[in-house]
Amino acid sequence: MHPPAPELLDWYDRHRRSLPWRGEGDPYRIWLSEVMLQQTTVAAVGPRYARFLARFPDVEALAAAPWEAVAAEWAGLGYYARARNLHAAAQAVAARGGFPETEAGLRALPGIGAYTSAAVAAIAFGRPTVPVDGNVERVTARLFDIRDPLPAARPRLAQLARGFMEQPVARARPGDFAQALFDLGATICTPRRPACALCPWRGHCAAQAAGVQDSLPVKAPKPVRGLRHGMHFLLRDGSGRLLLRHRPPQGLLGGMPEIPGTPWREGAAWSEAEALAHAPLAAEWRLLPGVARHGFTHLELEMRLLTALLPEGAPVPEGFFWLGEAEARGALPTAMGRLLALAAPGGEGPVPQVPPTPAGTGLLAGEAPAMAPRATPARGRPRGAPGSGPPKRRTKP
DNA sequence: AAATCGGGGCA
DNA sequence: TGCCCAGATTT
């Protein structure tokens, strides 16, 4: 039996969070917020949402923008396929003259799946549907004391959640009802130590009745993340600009600018000599101290940095571009920014110049480094293989 | 069904 | 540190 919708909606009317995207119901703004909030906390989205809207005020502006502008605006938010799909969907919406107003129509746009189509349909267009996100899954698992582990239990939880729309009071306010579930999950029915005493549905919760609310939902254990190593090449020209390239459009950090480097391989760290074969051009590369660490969802990365100045009269290699350092800091994904920080521990200024030793190695120039991070060979390698590593000083996150 | 795809916030 | 987050897409 589902708990009564009026009790949740009354609570929502009194306690709902004031959030930037809870405004007049502009579908563009609601869609943007939903995409930005995919696997991303409200706290992280807050400032970025306003900034994005200021730069792309409506779907036509976003559709007309070049990819580089969208990528720079999304930099640091992660899951860059969202930005690519957002851009493509904006162009589709602009071309057809507006957003589809049904769940199925929205679902056909790139980057809009089961959750986002339901959320936009309910919040922007008042369709009677229940978007099922992590909050709703948790609330539902507790209300009905579902002990099957996620993600296997997902279809069952989604079906239970949809059952709320059988109540006419919920059907009358689908957008508010959805957001009430979000707020309940975010502020009361939290992952740890839920505040059941404050819950508008206390007395209707099977998990609380059984005293197991703290341990639901059950989640399947996560696989261990493998460790990979990379060596990157920071080249500055006479005016201090940096040599960058774009990553391949698919895959890790797809379509984003990067500091050129070796592939990210499992096993041993790159030696300097070994890595030089991947240099964008021949120069007097110097290995900087320090290791930049960055964790992705399914792998962990340790990168080191070689730096050089553009040799006098050297041709700029194909497939690269120059960007000022300040602009690069804003446009690079976080992993690359962390790498860049190795070159400027103080945060500003060029690399402290050391008189070049004549040890610089002549190197093959120009070889087009179409580097894509190898799509997962075997894993399960023992963690933390004792690298043939230099000093393990790492940058602070 | 399982893998891939980021990074910030917070105990 | 590990866990979580207004998930989607590909394999």
Asked whether the beta carbons of A332 and A325 are under 8 A apart, the reply is no
The predicted model gives A307-325 an average pLDDT of 91
Give yes or no for residue A370 having a pLDDT over 50. Answer: no
A164-211: per-residue pLDDT in tens? 999 999 999 999 999 999 999 999 999 999 999 999 999 999 999 999
Lowest mean pLDDT among A12-26, A260-274, A332-346, A376-390: A376-390
A31 closest CA partner among A65, A75, A6, A63: A63
Give distance CA A221 / C1' B1 (Å).
15
Give yes or no for residue A371 having a pLDDT over 90. Answer: no
A87-122: per-residue pLDDT in tens? 999 999 999 999 999 999 999 999 999 999 999 999
Beta bridge partners of A231: A304
**Amino acid occupying residue A125:** F
Strand, coil or helix: what is A87?
A: helix
Strands A226-236 and A292-295: unpaired
Q: Is there contact between A222 and strand B, defined as CB under 7 Å from any strand atom?
A: no
Give yes or no for residue A254 having a pLDDT over 80. Answer: yes
pLDDT of residue A345: 66
* Nucleotide at minimal C1' distance from the A40 CA: C5
pLDDT of residue A223: 87
Confidence of residue A348 (pLDDT cuts 50, 70, 90): very low
The predicted model gives A373-380 an average pLDDT of 30
Give distance CA A192 / C1' C2 (Å).
13
A383 or A239, which is more confident = A239
Q: Is there contact between A138 and strand C, defined as CB under 7 Å from any strand atom?
A: yes
* Class of residue A207 by CB neighbours under 10 A (exposed 0-12, middle 13-18, buried 19+): buried
Give yes or no for residue A396 having a pLDDT over 80. Answer: no
Q: Is there contact between A80 and strand B, defined as CB under 7 Å from any strand atom?
A: yes
Please give the positions of A annotated as active site: 34
A13-27: per-residue pLDDT in tens? 999 999 999 988 999
DSSP per-residue letters across A145-193: T--SPBTTTHHHHHHHHHGGGGSHHHHHSHHHHHHHHHHIIIIIS-SSS
Taking the C-alpha atoms of residue A88 and residue A109, their distance in angstroms, rounded to an integer, is: 8
Q: Which residue has the tokens 């939880």?
A: A157
Beta bridge partners of A303: A230, A292
Give distance CA A363 / C1' C8 (Å).
42
pLDDT of residue A362: 27
pLDDT of residue A380: 31
Q: Is there contact between A112 and strand C, defined as CB under 7 Å from any strand atom?
A: yes
A372 or A295, which is more confident = A295
A381 closest CA partner among A220, A225, A221, A222: A225
Which positions of chain B lie under 7 Å from any protein Cβ?
Answer: 1-11
What's the mean per-residue pLDDT of chain A?
88
A204-241: per-residue pLDDT in tens? 999 999 999 999 999 999 889 999 999 999 999 999 99
pLDDT of residue A357: 29
The predicted model gives A349-369 an average pLDDT of 31
Confidence of residue A50 (pLDDT cuts 50, 70, 90): very high
Taking the C-alpha atoms of residue A58 and residue A369, their distance in angstroms, rounded to an integer, is: 38
Give yes or no for residue A378 having a pLDDT over 50. Answer: no
Give yes or no for residue A147 having a pLDDT over 80. Answer: yes
* Nucleotide at minimal C1' distance from the A254 CA: B5
pLDDT of residue A361: 29
Strands A299-309 and A292-295: antiparallel
Taking the C-alpha atoms of residue A106 and residue A93, their distance in angstroms, rounded to an integer, is: 10
The predicted model gives A41-48 an average pLDDT of 97
Give yes or no for residue A74 having a pLDDT over 80. Answer: yes
Taking the C-alpha atoms of residue A93 and residue A385, their distance in angstroms, rounded to an integer, is: 49
Give yes or no for residue A367 having a pLDDT over 80. Answer: no
Give yes or no for residue A303 having a pLDDT over 70. Answer: yes
* Class of residue A222 by CB neighbours under 10 A (exposed 0-12, middle 13-18, buried 19+): exposed
